[in-house]
Amino acid sequence: MINLETPKKHRVLVDQAHQVAMNMLRPISRKYDRAEHEYPKELDMLAAMIDGLSESGSSEGAGAAGVRREEGTDEGTVKNGANLASVLSIAEMCWGDTGLLLSMPRQGLGNSAIASVANEEQLERFAGTWAAMAITEPGTGSDSASISTTARLDGDEYVLNGEKIYVTSGDRADSVVVWATLDKSLGRAAIKSFLVRKGNPGMKVERLEHKLGIRASDTAAITFTDCRVPAEDLLGSPEIDVKQGFAGAMATFDNTRPLVAAMAVGCARASLDLTRDLLAQAGIEVDYDRPAQVQSAAAAKFLQMEADWEAAQLLTMQAAWMADNRKPNSLEASMAKAKAGRVGSDITLSCVELAGSIGYSETELLEKWSRDSKILDIFEGTQQIQLLIVARRLLGLTSAELR
């Protein structure tokens, strides 16, 4: 049975993540928001510390985790594992700074793709790499199944051709997990992931994007022109299974969507904590023992935001817990991403409004958090796409039947 409280075994990790967020990330948050594209060197020491914790086994969930569909769980047992630990620690880190969390070495979204799709030999061979994830293309928008980047087998290598945009950590990462199709005529079933190393001939970072938020994180556009990749670097099985369809790619999303939801939960929590303090300084106390309708408009709004935040947090924990216990979680992952993405954006912007001129100025970080949170409702599948997925799952309809 699921218990949506922070498990005792993860409390030390969560406390450590909060301390890092408060003492290491918050102090440099504004610095790297202003210095867009400048690498936060302070993260190197933090990454080394996380590597040490992961290698020692003393901090499960310190690194990127994956949803391994083929693995079972012991009958009758309940596991609070790496996926739950990851979302809890990520939420705390984003309480500090979302852009800096996305800049962490060896913790890219591509690492989660490797953890979810790669075979055992690849997991060992790619250990220690920092992998970005390249999905979005100029003409595909939110429909990941319609990607046009191609991968053609030539001897013992695949030849990649295409363009990817909005690749988080695309310039800084050691490698990029690239989604490409082996055969366009077979649709989504032919889409596979390839690990392409930095410096590979034919792979070129064309530009870095200037963004509304998460400015500490670099976001790149990358082209692939006759880029040769060893066949052994195709993640998972090279076989095209039209019955399984898009399952390999969805396994990645089942993992990364709760992580993005956790980022939104953490950023929203930061805004709520600061806004509560600012309201108190203005003489507005939020009374949890009285109905919202008999309190001030500001206090009533705050109570409503906290209720929305808690719903997002619980959905996120549920999706991660299900992954740890090898339960299908595609529906719950999309529900968590949809709820947390919308709530995160609503809360951070509402907190700016409640704080008035202080919220709109750079005196506090509220305006930055409102900018940072917007992307969390967009990448890894927009709000609209998540609601479409939820509807398909609930109604039992295919993507062709409900578009």
3-state SS, residue 394 = helix
Compute the half-sphere exposure of residue 33: CA atoms within 13 Å on the CB side of its CA.
21
pLDDT by residue (tens digit) across 226-267? 999 999 999 998 988 765 555 566 777 888 899 999 999 999
The reported pLDDT for the residue numbered 75 is: 56
For residue 229, what are the β-bridge partners? 158
- Beta carbons within 8 Å of 368's beta carbon, 6+ residues apart: 29, 30, 33, 213, 362
Residue 265 and residue 258: Cα distance in Å, rounded? 10
Q: What is the pLDDT of residue 293?
A: 94
pLDDT computed for residue 254 by the predictor: 87
Confidence check: pLDDT of 73 > 60: no
Is 203 in a helix, a strand, or coil?
strand
Least confident of 107-111, 162-166, 227-231: 107-111
The pLDDT of residue 55: 59
pLDDT of residue 243: 58
Q: What is the pLDDT of residue 4?
A: 78
- Domain boundaries of the chain, sorted by first residue: 8-125, 131-233, 247-395
Cα separation values, 301 from 187, 287, 308, Å: 46, 12, 11
pLDDT at 62: 39
pLDDT in tens, 341-400: 999 999 999 999 999 999 999 999 999 999 999 999 999 889 999 999 999 999 999 888
Please tell me the pTM assigned to this model: 0.93
**Exposure of 78 in the CB half-sphere (CA atoms within 13 A):** 10
- The correct CATH number of 247-395 out of 1.20.140.10, 1.10.8.60, 1.10.240.10, 1.10.10.10 is 1.20.140.10
Q: What's the pLDDT band for 47 if we cut at 50, 70, 90?
A: confident
pLDDT reading at 204 higher than 80: yes
Cβ(371)–Cβ(362) below 8 Å? no
Contact status, residue 30 vs residue 365, Cβ threshold 8 Å: yes
The CATH number of 131-233 is 2.40.110.10
Residue 69's pLDDT band (cuts 50, 70, 90): very low
Residues assigned a catalytic role:
380
Q: pLDDT band at residue 59, thresholds of 50, 70 and 90?
A: very low
Over residues 190-215, the mean pLDDT reads 96
Using CA atoms, how far residue 211 sits from 214, 217, 244, 366, in Å, is: 7, 10, 37, 17
**Distance from chain centroid for Cα 171:** 18
Please state, rounded to an integer, the average pLDDT across all residues of the chain: 90
Provide the percentage of residues in the chain whose pLDDT is more than 90: 73
The per-residue pLDDT for 50 is 76
DSSP per position, 321-346:
HHHHTT---HHHHHHHHHHHHHHHHH
C-alpha R_g of the chain: 21
Contact 365, 347 (CB under 8 A): no
β-strand partners of 180: 192
The pLDDT-based confidence of 3 (bands split at 50, 70, 90) is confident
What class does CATH assign to 8-125? mainly alpha
CB 233 within 8 A of CB 194: yes
> Residue 29: pLDDT above 80?
yes
User: In the predicted model, what is the mean pLDDT of residues 128-135?
Assistant: 93
Compute CA distances 298 → 276, 309, 362, 367, whole Å: 10, 16, 22, 18
* Torsion (CA) 211, 212, 213, 218 in degrees, nearest 10: 0
Q: Mean pLDDT, to the nearest integer, of 80-103?
A: 94
